[in-house]
Structure 1
Amino acid sequence: MLFCSGSQLEEEALNVYQAAQFIFRHYQPSLPASPITYSGHTEASGDGLTRVLRVLFITRSPKVAVRQILNMEELLERCQAWKYTDPASSVHFAAECGMWQPGADLPSNIAAFRSADVVIGRHGAAMANAFFMPEGGALIELFSPGWAWPVHRDWLDQDEQSTLQWWCMSVEDPALLSPGQYELEANPLMYRVQPVEKKSRDANMHVPWAGLVHVLEQYAAVQAAGGWPAYHQRRARGETVSYGYSEKGEIRQEASRWNGW
């Protein structure tokens, strides 16, 4: 359920983050335990400086095979082995990683997203569940080439109480995409009535770890520098929080593509 301004423009949805946090507080006394099993680094370093981030990958229902992450097992394995030292603060980071497919059970969705420090998934409505995350959390949204609609970022921008960080990575290499079920079936509703760019939006994707880990390291650096205030200051300075992974495997900033970010 979304709480909107009444406008027909989906971008004009006010206080969605506050609404999600209100719903969390309503359910909090009866929330189940987190359904996520996290695997990875659980030990802290001897100097006590290691911060272990809980990273939750979001999957989509396979009933309609669109926008799937095709190399999920590889990403989980690499995430569980991830270690990073922020050069500015010497804070060490490691990760515990899990996977979740949101469904119709709202309390379970809330419990799953509340357990995570970082949520990673393909662009789509299910990513709005990240608004249930605790303060300091991050939503890393994955886009495909030719499709750019940062509506979740816009909703967070319109809520003055929001403390959820929005980051994104756009995979710019068409070779990493595979046709989704809608495209294979030449779905008339999706691709004859709707813009052809939605073929790219709905394609299945191999997500390159090299690109994703770069965004994860950027988030870690912000956390080491103070979390939300540091993220907010970064944005105020005009520093981007969205990145493209080019055909040559290069990471590039996407400031012009994302309305000045």
Structure 2
Amino acid sequence: MTKDRYQCVTWKKVCIDQNVIVSYDEEVHPKTSMGTLPYLNVSEIMYNLPSKYGIGDRYRKGSALRFPALYVRPSNDLEEEEELQNPVFSSCTLPMLMYAHYPFNAAETWRYIFEKLVSLQQLGFFNRHVTLVPGVPPGTKVPSYTKFWYGSLTDKAVVSLSELSARKPKDTPSNATGEGRHVRCFERVIGCRIRYDRFGLKFYNAGQYVAKHYQPQYLALVPTFQQRLAAKGITLPTDPSVLKMVFISRNEHQSAVGRTILNEKELIDRCNTATGADVPPASWGVPYKSYFCMAHVFGEDQLMDVWLMRRVDAILGMHGAGLTNLMFMKPGGSAVEVRPFGFSGRESWANRYARFKASSPAEQPFPAFWFGIDTFNESLSEPGMFEKEDKPHFSKFRVIKARDRHVRITWPSFRTQLLNIALSARTNERYMSLRYGGAFYITDTLEQAEGPGQDPYVKKDLQRNFTSIQAEWDAAIRFPINLGNLDLAAKTDD
């Protein structure tokens, strides 16, 4: 990358006071020059109203809200704060203000900015000693997932501009500065507006970066994680002959909105007792002889989330940000994305997220495998809260209502995806055989969800219709399995 594609600016000799950047730079100050203060246009940055129910696009006027302008002004002789009257500029702390669209959606944050920041750091564009300041509307908290992910890029605490610029005593302790105390005046502050483009797109690489950074921390907590699972009657198998899958459950508020798997417990019970034709035959040459399924609410303890992803083979969940956890899995991990009635990838934006992250042109052969189940039978979906109540200020977009519907997954479609994952055995060639044949993405009645040429992320001339799932399985098992990936998956990180 040889040009500044993200409209970055550098402010020299500035203080930050209650979200206002105050410049003392003689090169651009009206008292000493004809220069122009650097300005970062963030007013085109969009966000959805954050809510305990999730992203705010469910409200007609809660979607695509605009950031207020970032106020930058020259210092003057009427500064209210003593610190700004006699500023001392820090050379030990370098804040980097990073703005990008939709900061209150984890999937968007990963897609729009985080994976790019990882690529930029790996290329040497910034080091681990900067203070990262994610852009959020003034007075709003930085989401916990953003602090966690960005924390892998810096040895400082990740803070909002409101936190960094708050009027606090100078001796207030702070993990966000090189001085270890609250500092608001700096020799330099950098601001960037990160836009979505073709740079980076290394989504899986970003997940592995996070996992590697936090490995010492989550390994130290393994006994605690195991105790939490045991309290729920769960013991995570270590036997590599057991294919392990985690259902992405939703918390109380999320479940109230929608996107729950109504027969989750039934599927988990059946998964854990599957035998006979429901488990992989010996002729497939895969290590799996049985399944283990469990449910987990992601986001409550992100260290545990990463540890769990390193221990399992697959996750399954409704369309949503929880599927981003696939990026933490070891090579060849799989995700099954379930889409409600009326929210097929063919008629919505659904394919831009988990599917694209696992199918990036910058990461080939694909390091993680995406599978999908489309609900074509309307009776298998139930309306979510916003569709059911349908108040005047709720969104009227059909696909938003459809996205939030609850779903019952048919056993045949779930069983088929379990077998698809087992047959793939973390082996790209086997997975791609299923992908080109269309068997990777099915409906609740085991039909092909997409016809040839409709998969936007693989070669169109290799895509074909399948005559039967069994025929596609027979074609895929001709490829030898990747023993290296299987061995890596069988080993614990410690």
> Where on the TM-score scale, by shorter chain, does this alignment land: which range?
0.7 to 0.9
Partner of 1:146: 342
Given the alignment, which residue of 342, 350, 363 partners 1:160? 363
User: Whole-Å Cα distance in 2 between the matches of residues 94 and 182 of structure 1?
Assistant: 39
- The structure-2 alpha-carbon separation of the partners of 1:129 and 1:75, relative to structure 1 and needing over 3 Å to count, comes to same
Instruction: State whether residues 40 and 80 of structure 1, in contact with CA within 8 Å, keep that contact through their aligned partners in structure 2.
Output: no
Normalised to the residue count of structure 1, the TM-score between the two structures is: 0.82
Instruction: State whether residues 298 and 305 of structure 2, in contact with CA within 8 Å, keep that contact through their aligned partners in structure 1.
Output: yes
* CA deviation map 1:110-137 (0-9, x unaligned): 1122221110111101110121111121
Partner of 1:219: 421
* CA drift at 1:82: 1.7
User: Whole-Å Cα distance in 1 between the matches of residues 115 and 310 of structure 2?
Assistant: 23
The code of the aligned residue for 1:184 comes to K
* CA drift at 1:255: 2.6
* CA drift at 1:8: 4.6
User: Whole-Å Cα distance in 1 between the matches of residues 433 and 273 of structure 2?
Assistant: 30
* CA deviation map 1:193-243 (0-9, x unaligned): xx21221210111111221111111121221xx6233223544x4544101
Structure 2 regions of 5+ residues with no counterpart? 1-108, 117-193, 464-494
Partner of 2:212: 25
Instruction: State whether residues 86 and 221 of structure 1, in contact with CA within 8 Å, keep that contact through their aligned partners in structure 2.
Output: no
- The structure-2 alpha-carbon separation of the partners of 1:144 and 1:59, relative to structure 1 and needing over 3 Å to count, comes to same
Partner of 1:82: 274
Partner of 2:261: 69
* CA deviation map 1:14-58 (0-9, x unaligned): 1121111101000001103245468699698xxxxx821111111
- The structure-2 alpha-carbon separation of the partners of 1:239 and 1:208, relative to structure 1 and needing over 3 Å to count, comes to closer
User: Whole-Å Cα distance in 1 between the matches of residues 328 and 430 of structure 2?
Assistant: 21
1:7-156, aligned counterparts within 5 Å?
7-8=195-196, 14-31=201-218, 32-33=221-222, 34=225, 36=229, 51-64=241-254, 65=256, 66-83=258-275, 84-86=279-281, 88-89=283-284, 91=286, 93-147=289-343, 148=345, 149-150=350-351, 151-156=353-358
User: Whole-Å Cα distance in 1 between the matches of residues 413 and 301 of structure 2?
Assistant: 32
Structure 1 regions of 5+ residues with no counterpart? 45-49
Deviates more, 1:32-41 or 1:88-97: 32-41
Instruction: State whether residues 342 and 399 of structure 2, in contact with CA within 8 Å, keep that contact through their aligned partners in structure 1.
Output: yes
The code of the aligned residue for 1:100 comes to H
User: Whole-Å Cα distance in 2 between the matches of residues 233 and 218 of structure 1?
Assistant: 11
Partner of 2:12: none
Structure with the greater relative contact order (CA < 8 A, sep ≥ 6): 1 or 2?
1
Instruction: State whether residues 244 and 291 of structure 2, in contact with CA within 8 Å, keep that contact through their aligned partners in structure 1.
Output: yes
Instruction: State whether residues 21 and 131 of structure 1, in contact with CA within 8 Å, keep that contact through their aligned partners in structure 2.
Output: yes
Instruction: State whether residues 341 and 405 of structure 2, in contact with CA within 8 Å, keep that contact through their aligned partners in structure 1.
Output: no
CA-atom RMSD in angstroms: 2.9
Larger Cα Rg: Structure 1 or Structure 2? Answer: 2
Instruction: State whether residues 86 and 220 of structure 1, in contact with CA within 8 Å, keep that contact through their aligned partners in structure 2.
Output: no
Residues 1:170 and 2:374 are matched in the alignment = yes
User: Whole-Å Cα distance in 1 between the matches of residues 302 and 377 of structure 2?
Assistant: 35
Q: Per the alignment, in what secondary structure is the counterpart of residue 55 of structure 1?
A: strand
The code of the aligned residue for 1:77 comes to D
Matched positions, count:
246
The code of the aligned residue for 1:228 comes to N
- The structure-2 alpha-carbon separation of the partners of 1:14 and 1:90, relative to structure 1 and needing over 3 Å to count, comes to closer
Tell me which protein shows more strand as a share of its residues.
1
User: Whole-Å Cα distance in 2 between the matches of residues 171 and 104 of structure 1?
Assistant: 29
- The structure-2 alpha-carbon separation of the partners of 1:154 and 1:90, relative to structure 1 and needing over 3 Å to count, comes to closer
* CA drift at 1:173: 0.9
Q: Per the alignment, in what secondary structure is the counterpart of residue 284 of structure 2?
A: coil
* CA drift at 1:188: 5.0
Normalised to the residue count of structure 2, the TM-score between the two structures is: 0.45
The code of the aligned residue for 1:210 comes to P
